[in-house]
Structure 1
Amino acid sequence: MVSAFAGWNDACQAATNVIRHLIDVYDAREVGKICCAGFYDYQTSRPMLCSTNGRRHIVWPETTLYEVAIDETHRIIVEMGPEPNYRWLEFCHRSLHIAEECDVDEVITLGSMFADCPHTRPLPLDVTEDGYETASTDGDDEYTGPIGIPTVLDQVAHDHGFDAASLWVSIPQYLGSDDCAQATLRLLHELSSRLGVELREGDLPRKAAQWTAQANLLVRCNDDLADYVRHLEIEVDTRRKAQDAERMSQVTANDIAQEAEAFLRDIDGGDGAAMGADPS
């Protein structure tokens, strides 16, 4: 099951747009709902007045689950709705109950957040597996602070025996809150890799290229912003070089250790042969 929730966890709608994209490009059918009663503050997640075929009606906030047919052998459940305001644990249990009824064995939550990252580099993607209580907090990925419903659902799913993973993409905070197709595409690619099936991209690459072009134009028209982006680029490139150097040193150390072990084995083998040789 792939879940995304609108609101605090969904900068530029990048996470929920993954779900919308899958529903649009594949055959999808509704398999469940988590209705609004008791979960929402209607002053925060307001009901909507809509018109269908000339008739107006009120649409209440709710979470909907769909079965999406990727191909003849791959079917996934997707979940989308506004982040609930109350009773998160009960909400997660209801969500996982529907997942169990649909024979789901893995839960993947999606999120997007604003960060100090340049649009001129690949958007950062953070992946957490096997729940947050068991995740490593070493290095630059350490985070302590407020969380949203995807984090809670991910942990509850893990505690209930589901394989669980959480994917979060970072979006440049200086570009505002318009839809970010580049971030949606980034999540889609990672999701495709995890599912082991190539997911249709549709018009996301075109929209992502348009987003990049608009960002470039904005930076060219603002000298202060251009300086800020260059500063971010230097930070990212420096951090990446340090990480590459660390990986190379680890590889080199492993190679040296393997060569030493092979050398010692050769010595032991040579000594054994010498000891067994005919002295005449």
Structure 2
Amino acid sequence: MVVVLDGFLDAGNAGALAAQHLIDLNDGGGRVVATFDVDQFHDYRARRPAMSFVRDHYEAYDAPRLVVRLLQDSGETPYLLLSGPEPDNRWEAFARAVRDVVERFGVSRVVSVGSVPMAVPHTRPIAITHHANNPALISGDSPWRGELRIPSSAQALLEVRLGEWGHDAQGFVAHIPHYLAQLDYPKASGALLENVEKAGRLTIDLSGLAAEAEDREVEIARYLAANDEVEEVVQALERQYDAFERAEENGSSLLADDQPLPTGEEIGQQFEQFLAGLDDPDSAGGSGSPDIDRP
């Protein structure tokens, strides 16, 4: 089962784009086999769903949905996709509800995807952090050393709890250039799904995402060519990234004394116009348990 939750762990909308791509590859979007009572988990005041006001009345309310779909890959191998907004509360109840789904459908492995903003350039390969509740599932070397204290998420807690209950779970987190974190970044979505393919032994057509990624890269390159200051920031990130890579290859410290990393404030100032330019088409640039469909 693939797990993709919108919200906290979704810089560049990489996870949401990946989930939608999987749904679009199936006729009719697949079959919904389990639904969660979103009212038990969603904070409507913190994340207000959109709706339309048409002249003199309201309509088209986009109600949040947290569902499990039965999908098929290119070789007609069935798998489940749990997608929707990350629960704002009752994480323990959510984890128990997901366990019900895992055990009801005999899920052999849960694979989650997410993305976080990082001080990395878009001109280098997408870095992926691998994690799992079973060491045997780790398929890549971790770029992190020691222990990090980080804000938790529903996905992270779910992985921990599933491990305690004897269910394998692993995941992949893409590192998104933080100056692109507010934009759709399909390049990262493709990188995440490549890892999902390997972990789940699935075959997924990624050509659509690849085409979207190329279009986005062209937009970014056009904007950089017209904005020298922004391009200088990207070049600084490239130097920092390359210094880290050389240090890793040499087995030395990851910190490069002669390659200062731009601060978040510096990059934020430089890319304020960058984000606006890409968004402007005229610019250059109960218990919480799920309702399971019993076949």
* TM-score bucket of the superposed structures, by smaller chain: 0.7 to 0.9
Indicate which of 214, 217, 227 corresponds to 1:212.
217
**Cα 1:129/1:239, change in 2 over 3 Å:** same
Query: 1:71, CA displacement in angstroms?
Result: 5.0
Aligned 8 A contact 2:129 2:143 in 1: no
Matches within 5 A, 1:102-181: 102-130=105-133, 139-140=144-145, 142-181=147-186
Distance in 1, Cα, partners of 2:206 & 2:246: 31
Indicate which of 28, 38, 41 corresponds to 2:40.
38
**Which structure would you say has the larger RCO, counting Cα contacts within 8 Å and 6 or more residues apart?**
2
Query: 1:137, CA displacement in angstroms?
Result: 8.4
Residue 100 in 1 paired to residue 106 in 2?
no
Distance in 1, Cα, partners of 2:177 & 2:230: 12
Distance in 2, Cα, partners of 1:141 & 1:201: 35
Query: 1:56, CA displacement in angstroms?
Result: 4.3
Query: 1:47, CA displacement in angstroms?
Result: 4.0
**Cα 1:141/1:207, change in 2 over 3 Å:** farther
**Cα 1:47/1:138, change in 2 over 3 Å:** closer
1:253 matched residue in structure 2: none
2:31 matched residue in structure 1: 29
2:87 matched residue in structure 1: 84
1:20 matched residue in structure 2: 20
Aligned 8 A contact 1:108 1:154 in 2: no
Distance in 1, Cα, partners of 2:145 & 2:219: 30
**Cα 1:141/1:195, change in 2 over 3 Å:** farther
Aligned 8 A contact 1:14 1:183 in 2: yes
* Pairs aligned (count): 242
SS of match in other structure, 1:77: strand
Distance in 2, Cα, partners of 1:82 & 1:40: 8
Matches within 5 A, 1:256-271: none
**Cα 1:72/1:208, change in 2 over 3 Å:** closer
Greater Cα shift, 63-72 or 139-148: 139-148
Per-residue CA deviations over 1:88-139 (Å, capped at 9, x if unaligned) read 010111122112111101111111111100000011110102269xx99884
**Cα 1:33/1:165, change in 2 over 3 Å:** same
SS of match in other structure, 2:3: strand
2:10 matched residue in structure 1: 10
Instruction: Specify which structure has the higher proportion of helix.
Output: 1
**Cα 1:138/1:21, change in 2 over 3 Å:** closer
Aligned 8 A contact 2:129 2:142 in 1: no
Residue 242 in 1 paired to residue 247 in 2?
yes
**Cα 1:217/1:59, change in 2 over 3 Å:** closer
Distance in 2, Cα, partners of 1:129 & 1:209: 31
Aligned 8 A contact 1:123 1:171 in 2: yes
Query: 1:59, CA displacement in angstroms?
Result: 4.7
Query: 1:62, CA displacement in angstroms?
Result: 2.9
Give the share of equivalent positions with the same residue, in percent: 24
Amino acid at match of 1:228: V
**Cα 1:203/1:73, change in 2 over 3 Å:** closer
SS of match in other structure, 1:203: helix
Greater Cα shift, 197-206 or 55-64: 55-64
SS of match in other structure, 2:110: strand
Give the 4+ runs in structure 1 shifted more than 3 A: 47-51, 55-60, 135-142
Distance in 2, Cα, partners of 1:148 & 1:218: 34
Query: 1:72, CA displacement in angstroms?
Result: 5.6
* TM-score for the superposition, normalised by structure 2: 0.75
Query: 1:152, CA displacement in angstroms?
Result: 1.1
Unaligned residue ranges in structure 1 (runs of 5+): 248-280
Q: Which has the larger radius of gyration?
A: 1
* TM-score for the superposition, normalised by structure 1: 0.78
Aligned 8 A contact 1:151 1:166 in 2: no
Aligned-CA RMSD value: 2.6
2:73 matched residue in structure 1: 70
